[in-house]
């Protein structure tokens, strides 16, 4: 049962392909029970063959205990994602503006507590999109009227842009959590004694790989610069995530803890 004031939220890093989906189907339920997790968010933009997320894969992830799925710059690479975004609790970056399918935020409720989840996309070293700072500023008052707990997935390449967003939203949202690089950072903290922050959560996928892909084809690409097929690696699957504890009455993040879970560690 949800503690009236303490909400435990698990945010799972970028899910890479079928091996990661299968891993979560086998382990997430037990991990939720073990840690007393109330609400799960996951970045799923690489869930379908390493790029985008199609409806059947969204259903798989939602059925294994994920409440909301965020995404990023790969979300529109499969046309089936249009249905995913329109029919499931899957969101795309808010700062695609009016041109993208679906919506950039969602509000869910658990045991009377409303939780807003927002997806933003960075611009440094990435394809042009609307300004993420202006995009979130434009809806922040509305979100704060609707929900005490606000979680932001900042999907971006540059560490400076992610940290800037963290400070920009400090005291206004419960957490700003970076995704996209698939490499976890060791800088988890609470900004201004209110907002949980980490530059990158990491990924859920193969750790005998390069960012979840078979390593030798990527090495070959670096050496020859000839296009290669980057298959999803299936070795040593792990989940990387952060576990937040949030005061449900104020939205203040009281703790943020990095998680790295191997299958053999699941009880």
CATH of the domain at 33: 3.60.21.10
Q: Which among 74, 155, 180, 182 is annotated as catalytic?
A: 74
The pLDDT assigned to 4 comes to 63
User: What pLDDT does 30 receive?
Assistant: 95
Give the whole-angstrom CA distance, residue 28 versus residue 26.
6
CA atoms within 13 A on the CB side of 81: 27
Query: How long, in residues, is the chain?
Result: 267
> For the chain, what is the domain count?
1
Residue 131 in any domain: the answer is yes
In a domain, 86, yes or no: yes
Find tokens 């891993």 and name the residue: 23
For residues 26 and 55, the answer to whether their CB atoms sit within 8 Å is no
pLDDT in the model for residue 131: 98
CA–CA–CA angle 232, 261, 19 (5° rounding)? 20
Check residue 2 and give its pLDDT: 62
Name the stretches of the chain with pLDDT < 50.
none
CA-to-CA distance for 172 and 195, rounded, in angstroms? 8
Confidence at residue 24, expressed as pLDDT on a 0 to 100 scale:
97
Q: Which residues of 119-157 are buried (b: 16+ CB within 10 A; e: fewer)?
A: bbbbbeebeebbebbebbeeebeebeeebbbbbbbbbbb
Query: In 3D, which of 87, 74, 84, 63 has the Cα closest to residue 16?
Result: 74
Domain for residue 39, yes or no?
Answer: yes
**Residue/partner pairs of 176-181 with CB below 8 Å, 24 or more apart:** 176/152, 177/11, 177/151, 177/152, 177/153, 177/201, 177/242, 178/154, 179/13, 179/14, 179/43, 179/70, 179/72, 179/153, 179/154, 179/155, 180/14, 180/72, 180/73, 180/122, 180/155, 180/156, 181/157, 181/211
The secondary element (H helix, E strand) that includes residue 47 is none
Read off the tokens for 266.
Answer: 């699941």
**Is the whole model's pTM more than 0.85, yes or no?**
yes
Helical packing angle, 132-146 and 159-169, nearest 10°: 40
pLDDT of residue 98: 78
Distances (CA, A) of 64 to 38, 74, 142, 194: 14, 23, 31, 30
Whether residue 155 lies in the annotated active site: no
Q: Could you tell me which residues come within 8 angstroms of residue 120 by beta carbon, excluding any fewer than 6 positions away?
A: 93, 94, 95, 104, 132, 135, 136, 152, 153, 154, 155, 156, 165
Please indicate, yes or no, if residue 141 is contained in any of the structural domains.
yes
- Is 2 a member of any domain? no
Q: Is residue 1 part of a domain?
A: no
The answer to whether the beta carbons of residues 245 and 7 sit under 8 Å apart is yes
Q: Domain range for residue 50?
A: 9-265
3-state SS class at 172:
coil
Q: In this structure, is residue 4 part of a structural domain?
A: no
What is the pLDDT, as a whole number, of residue 224?
95
């Amino acid at each position: 049962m949800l503690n009236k004031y303490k909400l435990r939220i698990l945010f799972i890093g970028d899910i890479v392909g079928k091996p990661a989906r299968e891993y979560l189907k086998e382990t997430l339920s037990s991990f939720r029970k073990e840690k007393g997790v109330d609400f799960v968010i996951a970045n799923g933009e690489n869930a379908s063959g390493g790029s985008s997320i199609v409806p059947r894969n969204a259903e798989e992830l939602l059925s294994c205990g994920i409440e909301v799925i965020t995404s990023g710059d790969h979300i529109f690479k499969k046309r089936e994602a249009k249905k995913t975004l329109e029919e499931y609790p899957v969101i795309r970056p808010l700062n695609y503006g009016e041109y993208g399918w679906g919506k950039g935020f969602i509000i869910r409720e658990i045991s009377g507590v409303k939780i807003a989840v927002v997806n933003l996309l960075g611009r440094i070293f990435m394809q042009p999109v609307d300004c993420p700072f202006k995009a979130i500023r434009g809806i922040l008052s509305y979100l704060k009227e609707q929900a005490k707990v606000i979680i932001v997935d900042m999907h971006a390449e540059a560490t400076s842009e992610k940290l800037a967003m963290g400070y920009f939203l400090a005291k206004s949202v419960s957490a700003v959590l970076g995704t996209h690089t698939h490499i976890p950072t060791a800088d988890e903290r609470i900004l201004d004694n209110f907002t949980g922050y980490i530059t990158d959560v990491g990924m859920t996928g193969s750790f005998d790989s390069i960012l979840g892909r078979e390593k030798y084809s990527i090495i070959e690409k670096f050496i020859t610069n000839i296009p290669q097929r980057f298959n999803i690696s299936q070795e040593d699957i792990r989940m990387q995530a952060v576990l937040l504890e949030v005061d449900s009455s104020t939205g203040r993040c009281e703790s943020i803890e990095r998680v790295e879970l191997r299958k053999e560690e699941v009880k």
